[in-house]
Amino acid sequence: MKKFKERWNIQSDFQLAIIILVFSLNGSLAVYVAKPLLNFIGLNQETTHPLIFWPLRVLIVFFVYQFTLIIIGTLFGQKEFFWNFSKKMWSRFNFIKS
C-alpha cells in the first residue's frame, strides 16, 4: 500500500481506501451501463455476431468507465485525483496532451 501512496501522491490510508472503493464501484457501474447503451443502438448478443458485439461492448465500457470515473470520484471527494488519472489515461492513447 505504501507503494501506491507514493506513486499516486496519496496523503492517507483513508484516501487510498476511498480511491480503491471508487475504482471498484466504477468498474461495476460501467459494465452495468454498457448493456442498455448497446441495446439503445440496436446491438445485442443474440442478434449481433460475437466478433462485432464484444469489441463494441469493450469499447463502450471503456468510454463509459472514463466518463463515470470522474463523476463517481467527484461524489467521493476525489475529483482532482481522478481528473488527473483520466487525463493521464487519455494521453497514453494520444487523445490529449498531458
Query: Is it the case that residue 91 has pLDDT exceeding 90?
Result: no
Flag whether the pTM goes above 0.85: no
- Each domain of the chain, given as residue ranges in start order, spans 2-92
Amino acid 95: pLDDT: 63
Mean pLDDT, to the nearest integer, of 77-92?
A: 87
| Long-range Cβ contacts of 14-20 (<8 Å, 24+ apart) | 15/78, 18/76, 18/77, 18/78, 19/73, 19/78, 19/81
Question: How far apart are alpha carbons 17 and 23 in whole angstroms?
Answer: 10
Amino acid 83: pLDDT: 92
Q: What is the DSSP letter of 94?
A: T
- Annotate 68-85 with b (16+ C-beta within 10 A) or e (fewer): bbbebbeebebeebbeeb
